Amino acid sequence: MNFSGKQVVVTGGTGALGSALVGALVETGAACRVAYVHDGELERFARKNDPKVELVKVADLSEEADVAKLYANVTPWASIHIAGGFAMGKVADTGKAALMAQIEQNLVSCFLCCRAAVNAMAKDGGRIVNVAARAALEPRTGAGMSAYTIAKSGVAALTAALAEETAKDGILVNAVAPSIMDTAANRAAIPKADFSAWPKVEEVAATILHLASPGNRVTRGAIVPVYGKS
């Protein structure tokens, strides 16, 4: 997995999974353009002063202007879309605004970044990796978080459809579908869980790294479960 001389765009790159992924990309030779929203995450981001990492502050990746800013003057080999949002809520308790917020944060942002990436990539192709969720593959597990499940299911469908559209152009599109990952925030939210069963962010990042790499020559349209033992 040699990314030497290759540019990679990463959304959500200053979060737990994003930080692990950007670190792995830099170690394999990539130059990363990383979108971030929250200054607090940037302060904790270990690679914020790395010369191989270009940080771009955006307000909302469901807005075309912010997406255009992120992809301006770059020809990425790979574009990896981690940014999104999560909210619990039963259907009976979820209004239109909450539903649309999940769709905007997860599906619309992913769609717009996919579109920008396809248009920015060189004629010799590239790689796109999206982040869906276990609930997108197993909707029954999305009970109690239906708006999120709907949005992430859309990401999975987008991935499969776009993979078919771009295969002839040498752009391979895939997604990972994590279960709950072992992060500090998730441990705090579910303190009695068996953390050892949760996939580590470094492990999920390794799967993304392979799908985004030049070494992936044949896999497209896959929604890869990354569940660990959970």
Categorize the per-residue pLDDT at 112 as very low, low, confident or very high, splitting at 50, 70 and 90: very high
Domain for residue 95, yes or no?
yes
Assess whether pLDDT exceeds 90 at residue 157.
yes
Assess whether pLDDT exceeds 90 at residue 64.
yes
Domain for residue 158, yes or no?
yes
Residue 160 is predicted with a pLDDT of 98
Rounded to two decimals, the pTM is: 0.96
Domain count, the chain: 1
Residue 134 is predicted with a pLDDT of 98
Residue 124 is predicted with a pLDDT of 87
Distance CA 116, CA 218 (A): 23
Domain for residue 1, yes or no?
no
Distances (CA, A) of 72 to 3, 76, 120: 21, 11, 8
* Residue 159, H or E segment: helix 146-166
Contact 213, 3 (CB under 8 A): yes
Residue 182 is predicted with a pLDDT of 94
End-to-end CA distance of the chain: 27
* Residue 22, H or E segment: helix 16-27
Distance CA 41, CA 14 (A): 6
Task: Give the domain CATH number at 100.
Answer: 3.40.50.720
Tally the C-alpha atoms within 13 A of residue 228's C-alpha that lie toward its C-beta: 19
Assess whether pLDDT exceeds 90 at residue 68.
yes
Domain for residue 14, yes or no?
yes
Task: Pick the closest to residue 82 from 66, 106, 58, 100 (CA basis).
Answer: 106
Categorize the per-residue pLDDT at 229 as very low, low, confident or very high, splitting at 50, 70 and 90: very high
**Domain range for residue 103?**
7-226
Distance CA 186, CA 175 (A): 22
Mean pLDDT on 83-96: 97
Name the residues annotated as catalytic: 148
- With pLDDT > 70 as the criterion, what percentage of the chain qualifies? 100
Beta bridge partners of 159: none
Mean pLDDT over each residue of the chain, to the nearest integer: 97
